[in-house]
Structure 1
Amino acid sequence: MTVARLLCALGVASLLASCASPPPPPALRIGLIGVFDGPARHSSGMPARLAARMAIDEINATGGALIDGVSHRLILIERETPNRPDAAAAAARALITLDSVDVLVGPQFSALAIAAGAVAEESQVPLVAPMASSPQVTTGRSYVMRLTFLDADQGEVLARYAFDSLGRRRTAALFPAASEHGRSMVERYGRTFTTRGGRMLAADTYHIDDTGDQAAQIQRLMREAPDAVLLPDLSLGDSSQVRLFREAGFRGPFLGSDAWDAIALRGRQDIDGSIIVGNWDGRSDREGVRTFRARWNARYLGERPRATGAATYDAIRLIARAAERARARSGMALATALRTGAPFDGAFASYRFDGSGDPIRGATLLEMDKDSLLFRGTLPTRH
């Protein structure tokens, strides 16, 4: 056989071999952005990763997502990011341009989700931010949505509960001067509380880099004789505020937000009776929570389910549902389907969608009591 004939034969064989290889099955590619540095690894990054993998395995086990009549296998592509907005934006860009994902999930923190959302919006790739609560995450954006309530919504829920259920009529507030989260909560709380007939007596601020204990601000607030105190951004580092309020004679409840680390703060006698707003109560008897809890515990023995995991689990399932409705894997069709559709009873919450990037859902009210958190009710954040 001549060299020319040999090359021709090899070329035909190669062509036949390529024709015999089936094309890869259709896939819905989901990019997950998570923070795995420091404490966020255990409270945010790992729960999100584990929940995303669980949701995808469950959906693939039932045939994947049926998009335009064709079964699509869900594929998860993960990228870790430091807790910096620029890094989160770079991770989103890499997932879109290098990994060719159809949709993004995360990051969980608002500052990072704002930055990653800008990249998603520019690239016209839908992004679901499971835990980000800043209004800037979704404002003015058509491709970005969240699963939490807004920061300010927490203030409204707390005001309604303090006035209607606790019978409080005089509230003071203390929060970090640089905290937009705290400021928006206090403003919404004050408007709602006064509309109902209560009095917002005073609101004072402090600087987070101040090594003092805010005794001067607390004395000023106590001169107004409040029967409730709103501390939206209380942290372990600020917890001396609770002691100082008690020493100054305050006996009413403290009101807090989802920024509180209730697990770390509970067990302190001076904080008993505090009411906090939560995105999620993992002990709930609601069907969506029960199902998630049972599946999580069966798969991840000894790993406690967290709110971040429940929210990420819902995000994956909502994406699959929306892709089937939209008959599309990405783009505006998928973004629109994510923002609309029938109510969804998820692991994280029960949602309704009215076309915006912010769901209509409930907020959980929890009371801190000795070593436990007591469920006190669920109030809608938009009504």
Structure 2
Amino acid sequence: MMPAAPRNEEEKRYALTVAETEGGARLDKYLTEALARKFDEDEAASAGGAPSRARVKQLIEEGRVLIEGTRPRPLTEPSYRVKRGEKFEVALPPPLPAKPEGQAIPLDVVYEDAELIVVMKPAGLVVHPAPGNHDMTLVNALVAHCGDTLSGIGGERRPGIVHRLDKETSGLMVVAKTDRAHRGLAEQFAAHGRDGKLTRAYKALLWGVPSPKKGTVNANIARSTHNRSKMATLKTRLDDEGEDVTAGRIAITHYKVEREYSDGLVSLVECRLETGRTHQIRVHMTYIGHPLLGDPTYGTGMKSRAAKLTDEARAALTRLNRQALHAWHLGFEHPVTGERMSFNAPLPEDMRELVEELEGS
């Protein structure tokens, strides 16, 4: 078993005892809820906010959670089921610094307070550093803008990030600036709106017009076995008792056709997510036979349709040079004040120009 991580004087330690009603819970879930109660009782600690479940899982795996006994030992399995009466000690280190360096990248700030910031991410900007994109990301811009206030609890390479958009997708994003904001926002995004707190909507330009014009796509998504850079839908598979045992992750997209252009050659569709999978809208719209305009990964094979556009619309599509997808609406409950926050962002210039040409055709 992994040895306990080194301790230092800056760490805060919390002693927790599992109540009778808490027995059977996963260790990471129990500790998240128990620490939240502790932080509520400790005014000094609450200023920074209790750790999120993702952070608690990280602490467990680092060996910072001890279970008491004749010889206290670290528990490193987040899925461990706690038993009533068990005693734990959690060593909570100070927040990790955001390692990415700040870079002077233009940042379109829609809203900002001491806890969070809402920005309009342009197409072409990667959200956080990753292999192949080590800098010049949204995170680098945020570090430069927010400085020491940016939360490090989302991970050293993704400080404050609670959701993401594909590089070539434009739209609204919210980023946590404190640990307590990160915890609250992460919980809302994990629920994907099922608790009524989070709302997200996207505008997409599709080839053709979906039928029916308002519907739901429910198809599991997994990484393609033929191309690891792509995602794919999976066929439903039932066991001998009729239970759904389809592999992959559940993915549900609600869509509604808003406009039709060029006699149904193209449609403007609003999509709302009930889950948040990689490339979900792009994969699901392709699955129902209506890939996004400009999508280089899932929208290939549309040259014959593109040839039917007017010269002006075809030129605008060439200038777009990306999937026609924009996260236009974002709503959530402020993780600290409880206030309902709602933001809308109009189509960016490249998509707006394409729509204007389609309207004139």
TM-score, reference length from structure 2: 0.30
Structure whose CA Rg is larger? 1
Higher relative contact order (CA 8 A, sep 6+): 1
TM-score, reference length from structure 1: 0.29
| Structure with the bigger percentage of helix | 1
